[in-house]
Amino acid sequence: SSELTQDPAVSVALGQTVRITCQGDSLRSYYASWYQQKPGQAPVLVIYGKNNRPSGIPDRFSGSSSGNTASLTITGAQAEDEADYYCNSRDSSGNWVFGGGTKLTVL
């Protein structure tokens, strides 16, 4: 299967830790990358590879992977982290695929 499955919505209290997950068969052989998208803006890469952050991404963002599940963890969530988050990977045919997205609410 080339699908990536994400929970549609997750909430976290300000300053607490939240984990956003992404499941799919392709994740057994390919690391996921993660994107943050705020309303009206283009997506921004926040995590790629085993656990790499592009320049400028706060270190409260981290990534991990186990079996067919990839996770994005925000440790000490801030109000500005409220956004939609998407995972992405490549399937066995080499095609790219996105998860359906998770809307993160910071309470």
Partner 1 sequence: QVQLQESGPGLVKPSETLSLTCAVSGYSISSGYYWGWIRQPPGKGLEWIGSIYHSGSTYYNPSLKSRVTISVDTSKNQFSLKLSSVTAADTAVYYCARLDSSSWETSLDYWGQGTLVTVSS
Residues that bind partner 1 (CB under 8 A): 29-31, 33, 35, 37, 42-45, 48-50, 54, 84, 86, 88-90, 93-101
Spatial separation of the C-alpha atoms in residues 99 and 23, rounded to whole Å: 8
Q: CB 101 → partner 1: shortest distance, Å?
A: 4
Q: CB 100 → partner 1: shortest distance, Å?
A: 5
- Minimum CB distance to partner 1 smaller for 63 or for 74: 63
Spatial separation of the C-alpha atoms in residues 18 and 10, rounded to whole Å: 8
At 89, the amino acid letter reads: S
How is residue 33 written in tokens?
Answer: 């990358």
Q: CB 11 → partner 1: shortest distance, Å?
A: 19
